[in-house]
Each structure stands twice: as structure tokens, then as C-alpha cells.
Amino acid sequence: AAELARVAADRAAGLLAPPAPVRLDAVVPAPERVLPDPAGDYALTPDAALRVDPAGRDVADQLAGWLRPATGFPLPVTDTAEATEGRLTLTLSPADTALGGAARADDPAIAELGAEGYRLDVTTTGVRITAAGPAGLFHGAQTLRQLLPSAVESATPVTERWVVPGGTIVDRPRFPYRGVMLDVARHFFGVQDVLRVIDHLARYKLNHLHLHLTDDQGWRIAVDSWPRLTEVGGATEVGGGPGGWYTRDDYRRIVAYAARRHVTVVPEIDLPGHTNAALVAYPELAPDKTAPPPYTGTEVGFSYVDPADERTYAFVADVVGEVAALTPGPWFHLGGDEAFKVPAESYRAFVARAQELVAATGKTVVGWHQLAPAEHVDGRVLQWWGTNGDDPATAAAVRRGARLILSPGNHAYLDMKYAPDTPIGHDWAGLIDVRRAYDWDPGTHVRGVPAEAVLGVEAPLWTESVTTLAEIEYMAFPRLPAVAELGWSPRETHDWSRFRGRLAAHGPRWATAGITFHPSPDIPWP
């Protein structure tokens, strides 16, 4: 009994021990400006309420939803107009209004923080997040979530002192485009898995989810005018598994869930190569008009739709039209990589026509940087996945007006192994430990491409060897936060030793949230 009592007392002491204090500068990605005020710590208490402007209501509801399970507090959400009590306040500041009395002379006005920036003030009496719009409030709310003890990630109530460190954060992104690509073609991932990945993006202020929807091994998005694409082309995947596809409603659900988290979905239909699944479904699209066998291996570069047949362009127009109509975001990704069997001249001609078909839907063309030699179309964006930072064709396309998304294979690829003993993944672009994922600069990475032409960064996850949500998470954590920081944080904050320290504190968060991660030896986990 004495032993039991001692154990119980130890446990209680453990529960009551003050949490490891979170520092105001512990946020990932690093904020633009952090002004700690050690005298201003705020303790969230059971009577706290959230007050919000009507347009920020949905963000406040989400924030309350993140905080209620672990705290067990009711955290009612009320309109700023009706309630005077409340310790967490989310306000939208109209673009022409400078900050009130709390503003320091050298602070940018909220309007200057843009659509995604925010200001967060923590004082002994409460927390205030101010932004020009809901996206900024949302990013501010994610910052607040990181400033609470890691136990906030618990799905059930925890006894804890819910202290938020005092001070002010003024923050906005370096680049407007910050993304992750998920290959749902090599292995199919259901809607629930994709929604969880969107939550992971949102934590780290990533704002684009690029879905690689089609490839040799499977076609994953329903197209009403070409139903066999999914009925036949969707029924395979790498390794011979059952595959799968998204119905129009599935896709709408993904898009809507992402939108609520201020994430834009970028659909990719990979053309003219990587199309074996489409050719199995519709042999008329094949150069020799015969159906190839379904493909469940992992080679690339062997398939292509017939660039010499008008029927192919009708197909592209139908597919692009339907997928664009389902997609509220401004982007449409045409793929364009590894069409090794298509001669350069017909490749360029095909791409030029396909780009026009995208433009006709009102979307902006995105494509892998192999699109570069094709003629320019207004606003087009190339996605750099090279490994040597040097490609004259890409630099020339940028001079003609293209912008660039940086996904260098040897830094940003989430499917590369961390180390030789990583159980899944590739190594064709080298091994990518956390430091390698972090230590590069998107603004200066490609020769001849000025920082002004860089739209942002994206971390692609190809899934030839990735078969489960846990494996997605294992490859993404902790490299996804590293790439997110390159996309969000000002270059002046770039510092490997400080980054690894900040990142280390996220391990317990992931563990508590049930997120699988690679316990990289690069990081001084607590």
C-alpha cells in the first residue's frame, strides 16, 4: 500500500509539475518578428471564451475545436458585438485601419501583412489575433496552438497549466505558394487520409495541396464524359493492389475541407506521358490504337497519348474542362514530365495546345519544368524538380514570363530516403536528411531565376513505395515543416541550429497527436 501511495503521489506530482514552458519564438515556421514579454504570460482558464468578428467565426470555431479536447474547457465562441467577456479575441482589421494603441511605431499596419499575415498579442489578460482576413486569422490561430503546451494535442482532457508565453508576434509569408504534393496514383489514398494530410499542411501554414491524380498505374478522378478512366483505369496500383478513385463528390469534399483550412487544391492530370492507365481504358488514345497491359510496376517514361490524333485533344479538352469545373482554385497542373518517347517537336506542339485548353477554362497552367521549351502562355508556372539548380530552358522560360515553384529533387522530395536504412523511399536524388531538406534557399536556387520569379516551394511525395497514411507521415515528418519554413519565413531567420531546436519541441506534439514521424538523429528531441 505504501508503495502504491508513493507511486500515486509521484504521478500526481508529475501531473501538477509546470509544463516545459513554450517560448514565444518556438514557432515553426519561424515568424517574421517575435517580441517576447516575460511579464505578459497568459494562462488559459476554464471560463475563457472566444470573441470574434462575424467574418472570423469559422476560424474561431476551428480554434475552439483544437483546444477543447485536451483542456476540457467549454470555450464558447461569441460575436465581438454581443460579448464583453472573453480572453481569446480574433479581430479582422479592415485594410485601411492602422493598429490601435498597442501598435509599436515600427510595426507594419495589418493591411501590410497581406491576406495571410497576422499579429498575435499575448498579455496577462488574454490573447488577441488581428488580421486583414480569415486566412491570416487562421495562421495566427495555428501559431497560438503551437504556443500552448504540447499536451494540447491530446484527444482527451489533460491536467495542465495552459500557459501562453507573453509578447507579440507579427508575421507574414515570404512566398505566396507553399505546398505539398501527394501522389495518389501510384498508391491510392482514400478521402479520410487526404483530409488528415490537409490538417498537417495547415499546421505548418502550407496553403496548397497538389494532387497527382493520374499516372501509369492508376487514374483517380471521375470524368463523366470518359467513364472508363476510373472504371478501368482506376482499378490498379503499384504492386497489384485494388487501387481506387475519387468520385466527383469525394473530390468536392476534399476541396471544401481544404478551403476551410485555407488550403487550395491543385489538380494534376499528367500529360502526355505517365498515361498507361488511360490507354488501358481507351486504346484509341494510344499511338498504336491497342490497349497496353495494365501497369503495376515502378518504371517511368514508356507511355504517352497520341499527339498526332485529334481525338487526343478532344480527350484533353473534356478532362481539363471537367476537372477545372470541379476545382475552385486558380491552378491546373498539366504534368509534362518524362515523356521520353515523344519527339521534342511533337512534345512542344502537344504542350502548346494543352496549355491553351487549360487557359480556355480560366485556370492558370502549372507543369513540371519540362514544359519550359513550349511557348509561353499567360501566367504559367513551372515546377522545378531538377537536382543541379541549372537548366537554360527553364531560365529562358522565366525570361518569357513564367514563374517557378521550387521542388528540387535533392532537397524537397519527401519520397527520398532520410538515410541508407530508411525502410521505404527512393534515393535517385540522394539521401535527404532534415538538414538537407532545410539548408537551401528557394530565392536563389536555380541559376538565372531571380527571386521575384519564384512563386514558392512545394514538397512532393511520390508513393511508389508508400502504401499507408503512417508511411506518408513518416516521410513527411520532420521534413514537411522544414520545407514549410523555407516557404514562409524570412530568409534572415534561416539558421539550422535554431531550427533544429525549435523543431525538436514538435516531436512530443506529434507523438501526442498520433502522428507518425522519423525520429531523425539530426534533431535534439527532448
Active-site positions read 338
And the C-alpha cell for 341? 518517347
- Distance linking the first and last C-alpha atoms of the chain: 33
Least distance in Å: CB of 337 to ligand TNX? Answer: 3
Q: Which is nearer to ligand TNX, 413 or 517 (CB)?
A: 413
- Residue from 245, 315, 350, 368 that binds ligand TNX (CB under 6 A)? 368
Q: Which is nearer to ligand TNX, 428 or 496 (CB)?
A: 428
Q: Which is nearer to ligand TNX, 76 or 430 (CB)?
A: 430
Could you give the CA distance from residue 49 to residue 169 in angstroms, rounded to a whole number?
A: 21
Q: Which is nearer to ligand TNX, 193 or 338 (CB)?
A: 338
Q: What is the largest CA-CA distance in the chain?
A: 85
The helix/strand/coil state of 436 is: helix
Q: Which is nearer to ligand TNX, 251 or 368 (CB)?
A: 368
Q: What Å distances lie between residue 20 and 147, 161, 358, 363, 523, CA to CA?
A: 11, 10, 52, 48, 18
Are 130 and 118 in contact, with CB atoms under 8 Å apart? yes
Could you give the CA distance from residue 50 to residue 76 in angstroms, rounded to a whole number?
A: 6
And the C-alpha cell for 189? 489514398
Q: What Å distances lie between residue 80 and 95, 116, 120, 499, CA to CA?
A: 18, 22, 17, 37
Cis geometry, peptide bond prior to residue 478 (ω within 30 degrees of 0): yes
Q: Which is nearer to ligand TNX, 72 or 301 (CB)?
A: 301
Least distance in Å: CB of 442 to ligand TNX? Answer: 17
The helix/strand/coil state of 60 is: helix
Least distance in Å: CB of 205 to ligand TNX? Answer: 24
Residue 209: closest CA among 258, 176, 269: 258
And the C-alpha cell for 47? 471560463
Least distance in Å: CB of 428 to ligand TNX? Answer: 6
Could you give the CA distance from residue 149 to residue 168 in angstroms, rounded to a whole number?
A: 18
Least distance in Å: CB of 451 to ligand TNX? Answer: 23
Least distance in Å: CB of 462 to ligand TNX? Answer: 3
Could you give the CA distance from residue 414 to residue 437 in angstroms, rounded to a whole number?
A: 9
Q: Which is nearer to ligand TNX, 252 or 426 (CB)?
A: 426
Strand pairing category for 381-384 and 364-368? parallel
Range 193-252, binding ligand TNX (CB under 6 A): none
Could you give the CA distance from residue 503 to residue 433 in angstroms, rounded to a whole number?
A: 14
And the C-alpha cell for 178? 507553399
And the C-alpha cell for 107? 510595426
Least distance in Å: CB of 225 to ligand TNX? Answer: 26
Could you give the CA distance from residue 364 to residue 366 in angstroms, rounded to a whole number?
A: 7
Are 315 and 352 in contact, with CB atoms under 8 Å apart? no
Least distance in Å: CB of 341 to ligand TNX? Answer: 14
Q: Which is nearer to ligand TNX, 143 or 410 (CB)?
A: 410
Q: Which is nearer to ligand TNX, 322 or 464 (CB)?
A: 464
Range 374-433, binding ligand TNX (CB under 6 A): 385, 415, 426
Residue listed under C-alpha cell 523511399: 425
Site map 460..479 versus ligand TNX, x via CB under 6 A: --x-x---------------
And the C-alpha cell for 453? 520569379
- Residue from 193, 284, 338, 439 that binds ligand TNX (CB under 6 A)? 338
Least distance in Å: CB of 114 to ligand TNX? Answer: 30
Size of the site for ligand TNX (CB under 6 A): 9
Could you give the count of Cα atoms lying within 13 Å of 523 in the half-sphere of its Cβ? 28
- Residue from 41, 116, 337, 485 that binds ligand TNX (CB under 6 A)? 337
Range 285-314, binding ligand TNX (CB under 6 A): 300
Residue 24: closest CA among 41, 7, 9: 41
Residues engaged in binding ligand TNX (CB under 6 A) = 300, 337-338, 368, 385, 415, 426, 462, 464
